[in-house]
Chain A
Amino acid sequence: ELKVEQNPLFLSMQEGKNYTIYCNYSTTSDRLYWYRQDPGKSLESLFVLLSNGAVKQEGRLMASLDTKARLSTLHITAAVHDLSATYFCAVTSRGSTLGRLYFGRGTQLTVWP
């Protein structure tokens, strides 16, 4: 079974600082997703990464994918309080025709003044 590991699981950072969340997966995948979840809420799609070297940015968040290393990173630049949430990465198994996603446990991010 495809396994997805995120680290750190908990991240507390000061506003204005930079940090990176890491997502490793165990077998070949052809799609990697980053989702955001606010407490008690549903999941909001942030990025879809399809190919090696893919980089996507929105606001203070930038996601990248290294398929050879089976690694994705979510980089936070100059964090602000509004970024406080839990961030999940998820991957599909290669050739999946059903949209079955394997999720990491999530990184709970708290940004403080």
Chain B
Amino acid sequence: SQTIHQWPATLVQPVGSPLSLECTVEGTSNPNLYWYRQAAGRGLQLLFYSVGIGQISSEVPQNLSASRPQDRQFILSSKKLLLSDSGFYLCAWSLWTVGIATNEKLFFGSGTQLSVL
């Protein structure tokens, strides 16, 4: 069965410090990978998605970046954190079927609560 691992679970960082959040998926090949962010009391906002190694698309301009060095590894980074980067970050994966409506779902990791102080 497929599993998704995300770490760390909690992170407190000072403004201006770097960030690296990691996500790995097991039990599947060539998944689509996603980074979502949830601000307090809000819905989820898609930050980045990837359909393959080295292929990253950004949804929202910001000081964050993402990389996919391996098929099942997705990393969210920042060189200098801002206060507004605080939030709950969720990695997700799917095996999306092109052009066909199926029961395909997004499966989410356990999340990282990031507090920038």
A is bound by B: yes
Which residues of A are interface residues toward B (Cβ below 8 A)? Answer: 4, 30-31, 33, 40-43, 45, 48, 50-51, 88, 90, 95-101, 103-106
Question: Measured between alpha carbons, how far is A30 from B100 in the docked complex, in Å?
Answer: 9
Contacts of A96 in B (CB 8 A): 96
B96 & A98 in contact (Cβ 8 Å cutoff)? yes
A42 & B49 in contact (Cβ 8 Å cutoff)? no
| Interface hits, B61-115 → A, CB 8 Å | 90, 94, 96, 98-99, 101-111, 113
Which residues of B are interface residues toward A (Cβ below 8 A)? Answer: 32, 34, 41-46, 49, 51, 57, 59, 90, 94, 96, 98-99, 101-111, 113
For A4, A97, A99, A104, the residue with the greatest tally of chain B CB atoms inside 10 Å of its CB is A99
Contacts of B59 in A (CB 8 A): 100
Which residue of B41, B51, B90, B103 is within 8 Å of A98 (Cβ)? Answer: B51
Contacts of B46 in A (CB 8 A): 100-101
Query: Nearest Cβ distance between residue B45 and chain A, in whole angstroms?
Result: 8
Question: Measured between alpha carbons, how far is A82 from B81 in the docked complex, in Å?
Answer: 37
B103 & A97 in contact (Cβ 8 Å cutoff)? no
Instruction: Beyond A99-B104, A101-B106, A105-B41, list 13 extra A-B contacts (CB 8 Å).
Output: A31-B101, A33-B105, A40-B113, A41-B111, A42-B108, A45-B106, A48-B103, A48-B104, A96-B96, A98-B51, A100-B59, A103-B45, A105-B42
A30 & B96 in contact (Cβ 8 Å cutoff)? no
Query: Nearest Cβ distance between residue A25 and chain B, in whole angstroms?
Result: 12
Query: Nearest Cβ distance between residue B3 and chain A, in whole angstroms?
Result: 12
Question: Measured between alpha carbons, how far is A98 from B113 in the docked complex, in Å?
Answer: 26
Contacts of B103 in A (CB 8 A): 48, 50
| The 6 A-B residue pairs with the shortest CB-CB distance in the complex, in nearest-first order | A103-B43, A99-B96, A99-B94, A103-B44, A43-B108, A105-B43
Question: Measured between alpha carbons, how far is A88 from B92 in the docked complex, in Å?
Answer: 16
A42 & B110 in contact (Cβ 8 Å cutoff)? yes
A45 & B43 in contact (Cβ 8 Å cutoff)? no
Chain B residue at minimal CB-CB distance from A51: B101
Query: Nearest Cβ distance between residue A106 and chain B, in whole angstroms?
Result: 6
